[in-house]
């Protein structure tokens, strides 16, 4: 709100930045809760939000939903956003 009042426009993060934020979010949830099942369930929900601008968002969400462990989810997130990591 302060930036808006100053006339500074909000700029959406890049896809690469979005992927990194998603990974940080998941790892922090895992650290705080110490419960992989909870983190996996949250990752499945969050994949719809974080993946909303991906060209292949439906297949990304489906692939995350099929994961049964956090390592697999991290791999899917890295793979989905990898094309954009080199630009930041």
CA distance 9 to 11: 6
In degrees, rounded to 5, the angle at the alpha carbon of residue 15 between the alpha carbons of residues 10 and 19 is: 110
Q: How far is CA 81 from CA 9, 36, 39, 43, in A?
A: 25, 22, 20, 15
In degrees, rounded to 5, the angle at the alpha carbon of residue 74 between the alpha carbons of residues 72 and 77 is: 110
Count of C-beta atoms within a 10 Å radius of residue 20: 18
pTM of the predicted protein model: 0.81
Read off the pLDDT of residues 35-81 as tens digits, 9 standing for 90 and up: 899 999 999 999 999 999 998 899 999 999 999 999 999 999 999 98
Measuring CA to CA, which residue among 86, 54, 88, 28 is closest to residue 77?
A: 54
């Amino acid at each position: 709100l302060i930036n808006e009042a100053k006339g500074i426009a909000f700029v959406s993060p890049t896809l690469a930045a979005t992927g990194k934020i998603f990974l940080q979010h998941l790892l922090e949830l895992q650290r705080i809760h110490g419960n992989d099942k909870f983190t996996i369930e949250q990752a499945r929900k969050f994949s719809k939000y974080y993946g909303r601008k991906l060209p292949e968002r439906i297949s990304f969400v489906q692939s995350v939903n099929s994961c049964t462990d956090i390592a697999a989810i991290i791999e899917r997130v890295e793979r989905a956003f990898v094309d954009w990591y080199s630009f930041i």
